[in-house]
Amino acid sequence: MKVLLLGGGGREHAIAWKLAQSPLLTKLWAAPGSDAIAELAERVPVDPLDPDAVAGFVKANGVELVFVGPEAPLDAGSSDAARAAGALVFGPSRAAARLETSKSFAKDFMGLHGIPAARSRGCVTREEAKAAARAFGGRCAVKADGLAAGKGVIVCREPGEADAAVDALAATTAGRTLVVEELLEGPEVTVMVLTDGRVWAALPPSQDHKRLREGDQGPNTGGMGALAPAPLDGAVWERIKTEVLDRTVEGLRADGLDYRGALYAGVMLTADGPKVLEYNARLGDPETQAVLPLLDADLLSLAADCAAARLKPGVLPVKSGACVGVTLASPGYPEAPRPGFFIDLSADMGMGGATAFHAGTKRSGDGWIATGGRVLTVVGCGPDLAAARANAYDAIARIKAPELRYRRDIAAKALGRTVA
């Protein structure tokens, strides 16, 4: 199959790496890709946010499958355009991607289909939002309705915090409508499935580490590390399958939403059972980098099955063991990253055979230059989480770039216990 991958971050590097292992693959293009992805795919100067350009490339080159990595091309209509141009597309329609691109849409969807979630109010004025926050006793999450690149949620624990949160978010484009919801407590897991809109096939549950600093301190980030599989209690996993995954896919079908792609549910394991905090209409970053090395199946074949609505339901086959991915970031990330430094990746990645997925780099002679806030995700795998973690950190110690910042406690809490 001739495949076009949209995107160019660490998640897309891992997707390209996995697609490249498929015996079905005859040609892989990436738009825009990255210098690291260029080792696996041909980069093409097509703007993923330009539906006409994507459709034009599909037609001109006989692209058979388009794999959409990030959410922005979905919101721009590029998945619909590629489908209209005749390609199989792994990526939901723009209308279905509203599960991610509009939090109020997602909340209405969850309410309608009985999917467990925090109680919430959609608010169009600041006064309404502040009143809703007071009704939750000030303990609430204030959320901008639209896409906000991970900056659209403020969690408020003390009365008085919510007013400032409402004012801050209401001033942003994404925050013209706000969602205010009750504060939930508990560990979080990432549940990612592939779906063809009729059935789901689950990847192993995983876990992100959103906070910048060790001990889950500091500001929220795009993700400082991930582990898979998340050591999830079996009964909780069964509840997630029936209460979240079955109901979500049935809801998509009932509502006539064309959803063929990856579906991400951010689930909080509360004392009251699992509750969905958010949906993403794509795979997670950095979770994908830790999950795909465990997948014991052909990603391209699965993506084509989703796109052609012939997916087999169930839990996808996985290799034994675990993977841990650690994000290496530029100094100053996330507020004011200072990339531009040299990275020497020439040393081998250690006995554990870790992999460095590139999120923000460009080639420079024998090495690389950091170009982004998040620079690399180094993924170690092993027979268990402890070994995977040791392999990841052993590989990181071999990378020569003293500027890189990272957390040293990724997966430390999860060792030897279940999250629920």
Binding partner of 412, given ligand AMP, ligand GLY, none, CB within 5-8 angstroms per partner class: none
Per-residue contact string for residues 316-355; x = within reach of ligand AMP by CB under 6 A: ----------------------------------------
Which is nearer to ligand AMP, 149 or 315 (by Cβ)? 149
Which of 277, 309, 390, 419 contacts ligand AMP by CB under 6 A? 277
Using CB under 6 A as the binding rule, the residues of this chain from 202 to 221 that contact ligand AMP are 210
Q: Interface with ligand AMP includes 153 (CB under 6 A)?
A: yes
Structure tokens at 157: 């624990």
For 212, residues 6+ apart whose C-beta sits below 8 A from its C-beta are 218, 219, 220, 221, 224, 333, 334, 407
Least separation in angstroms between residue 114's CB and ligand GLY is 24
Question: Nearest distance from residue 148's CB to ligand GLY, in Å?
Answer: 11
d(CA 87, CA 92): 13
Cβ proximity to ligand AMP: between 266 and 350 the closer is 266
**CA 284 from centre of chain:** 1
Distances (CA, A) of 301 to 1, 3, 290, 306, 308: 10, 11, 20, 9, 10
| Smallest separation (angstroms) from ligand GLY to the CB of 194 | 16
Q: Is the peptide bond before 159 cis (omega within 30 degrees of 0)?
A: no
Bridge pairing between strands 2-7 and 27-32: parallel
Q: Which of 173, 181, 209, 222 is nearest to 71 (CA)?
A: 222
Q: Of the ranges 12-20, 21-29, 123-131, 180-188, which one interacts with ligand AMP (CB under 6 A)? A: 180-188
| CB closer to ligand GLY, 181 vs 285 | 285
User: Does residue 168 belong to the site contacting ligand AMP (CB under 6 A)?
Assistant: no
The least distance separating ligand GLY from the CB of residue 286, rounded to whole angstroms, comes to 6
**Number of separate helices (H) and strands (E) present in the chain:** 13, 24
Q: Mask 253-292, x = binds ligand GLY (CB under 6 A)? A: ---------------------------x---xx-x-----
Question: Which CB sits closer to ligand AMP, 181 or 287?
Answer: 181
The closest of 239, 247, 279, 241 to 263, measured between CA atoms, is 279
> Which residues does 233 contact at the CB level (< 8 Å), separation at least 6?
418, 419, 420
What does the alpha-carbon distance between residue 73 and residue 87 come to, in Å, rounded to a whole number?
15
194/269 with CB nearer ligand AMP = 269
Sites for ligand GLY among residues 193-232 (CB under 6 A):
208, 223
Q: Look at residue 277 and give the partner it binds from ligand AMP, ligand GLY, none, a contact being a CB closer than 5 to 8 Å depending on partner kind.
A: ligand AMP
Within 10 Å of residue 319's Cβ, how many Cβ atoms? Answer: 12
DSSP collapsed to 3 states, 159-224: CCHHHHHHHHHHCCHHHCCEEEEECCCCCEEEEEEEECCCCEEECCCEEECCEEECCCEEEECCCC
Please pick, from the candidates 155, 168, 297, 386, the single residue that binds ligand AMP as defined by CB under 6 A: 155
Contact partner at residue 223 from ligand GLY, ligand AMP, none, CB < 5 to 8 Å by partner kind: ligand GLY
Burial pattern 238-254, b for ≥16 Cβ within 10 A else e, equals ebbbebbbbbbbebbee
Retrieve residue 276's tokens: 């969905």
d(CA 36, CA 16): 10
Residue for token pair 């040293």: 408
Q: Which of 138, 146, 187, 266 binds ligand AMP (CB under 6 A)?
A: 266
Among 141, 144, 232, 414, binds ligand AMP (CB under 6 A): 141
Asked whether position 75 contacts ligand GLY by CB under 6 A, the answer is no
Please identify, among the stretches 38-46, 182-190, 377-385, 410-418, the one whose residues bind ligand AMP according to the rule CB under 6 A: 182-190
Residue 184 interacts with ligand AMP (CB under 6 A): yes or no: yes
**Token pair recorded at residue 322:** 């675990």
Residue number of the CB atom closest to ligand GLY: 284
Strand ranges (E), 210-260: 211-213, 217-220, 225-228
Q: Which is nearer to ligand GLY, 285 or 305 (CB)?
A: 285
- Binding to ligand AMP by residue 188, rule CB under 6 A? yes
Judged by CB under 6 A, which of 12, 278, 285, 305 binds ligand AMP? Answer: 278
Interface positions with ligand GLY (CB under 6 A): 208, 223, 280, 284-285, 287
Interface positions with ligand AMP (CB under 6 A): 118, 141, 143, 153, 155, 181, 183-184, 188, 210, 266, 277-278
